[in-house]
Amino acid sequence: MNRKLWPWLVGLPWIALPAIALRYWLVWDQLPVRLATHFDINGRPNGWMSREVSLGFALGVTAFLLVTFTIVTYVMHRQHAADSFSWAMLGFFYLMTGVIYYVNSSVVDNNLTGRPVEVTPVLILTPLAVLALVAIYLGTRRGKSLPSGPPIAEEIHASRLWTLVFAVPLALELGIFVTVPVSSVRLAAGLLSLLFVVFTAATWSGFQYRFTPAGVEISTLGFRLRSIPAVQIQGYEAGRWNLLRGYGIRGIGNCRAYVWGNKGVRIKTTNGEVFLGHSEPERIVRDLDAVRQFGH
């Protein structure tokens, strides 16, 4: 991407600030003294602000999000300028800026005409955009596929406890989807249910580690998450995982972890560090010894 073009593309969403201010200014005299600014699940207002406070709040929240998105986009571009993730992050930036403007404009329209604030587009686009962004990030950081061939060993790292943890909110969301008649709420519950289905299935099936003479491949639900070529493995040792660092796919940059428990093996590579969670770390160490032996 042209280095001179990138700052302009990142700065363009800042037009949202004067656009929101202009939206208020054009109808300022038509707005009530107190604006309805918060709504319940049925679209009925249950929170109000003065015009001045509402405008200040809208501009403040928008400015905060724009600053956050700008910094994150800039950092991601420096780290991923050569791949598609920087474009994906920029697209996500634009989408979220559009959502911010849409919400604020809908609040103004509601106070002018009584038109309900339609949240369905936001409920659909936002989670789908987040999932797409995560998928693109994982896809651009997983490396090339290793040559096919018979494996030396295969291991699975799953967690029945985390399966239960995700199954509980899944059941709750399904209950809301079935019993609540409000379409927007049912839509949100349905999307969240699909998300928790993925989480529940992922924790049940676990991370699959495939050890071959060419290296190690990590996957889940049939999706390849990471390939570690044998030539990049510099060392490894059994280690503990701090629960404060979280579970699942963790880490950014050159450090990554695939873990559902507090045990595993820390692998040092030429591109960073990878932690493979497993209840029996000695088995992973044994398999890596075999990879190194067959590789030589």
113 and 221 in a single domain? The answer is: no
19 and 113 in a single domain? The answer is: yes
64 and 184 in a single domain? The answer is: no
Burial class for 205, CB neighbours closer than 10 Å (0-12, 13-18, 19+): middle
Domain stops at, among 105, 140, 175 = 140
Structure tokens at 126: 């936002």
132 and 201 in a single domain? The answer is: no
Cα–Cα dist 62/52, whole Å: 15
Residue 5's SS3 state is helix
2: confidence class by pLDDT, cuts 50, 70, 90? low
* Mean pLDDT, residues 117-142: 81
Cα–Cα dist 70/193, whole Å: 31
Q: Which of 114-128, 219-233, 248-262 has the lowest mean pLDDT?
A: 114-128
Cα–Cα dist 255/226, whole Å: 12
pLDDT digits (tens, 9 = 90+) for 256-271: 999 999 999 999 999 8
Query: Edge-to-edge, what's the strand order for the sheet holding 263-269?
Result: 233-240, 263-269, 272-277, 255-259, 248-250
121 and 266 in a single domain? The answer is: no
Q: Which residues partner with 49 through β-bridges?
A: 35
- Number of residues in the chain: 296
* Mean pLDDT, residues 139-148: 84
How many other CB atoms sit within 10 Å of the CB of residue 56? 12
pLDDT digits (tens, 9 = 90+) for 266-294: 999 998 999 999 999 999 999 999 998 87
Query: What letter does residue 90 receive in the DSSP assignment?
Result: H
pLDDT digits (tens, 9 = 90+) for 91-114: 999 999 999 999 999 999 989 988
Task: Please report which helix (H) or strand (E) contains residue 270, including its range.
Answer: none
Handedness of CA 207, 159, 187, 177 (dihedral sign): positive
Q: What are phi and psi of 73, to 5 degrees?
A: -65, -40
Nearest residue to 217 via CA among 154, 296, 294:
154
276 and 291 in a single domain? The answer is: yes
206 pLDDT higher than 80: yes
Model confidence, pTM: 0.74
* Mean pLDDT, residues 166-182: 91
pLDDT digits (tens, 9 = 90+) for 60-72: 999 999 999 999 8
24 and 107 in a single domain? The answer is: yes
Cα–Cα dist 150/168, whole Å: 39
Q: What is the DSSP string of 136-151?
A: HHHHHTS-PPPPP---
Cα–Cα dist 290/218, whole Å: 17
103 and 227 in a single domain? The answer is: no
- Residue-number span of the structural domain to which 64 is assigned: 5-140
Give pLDDT, residue 196.
93
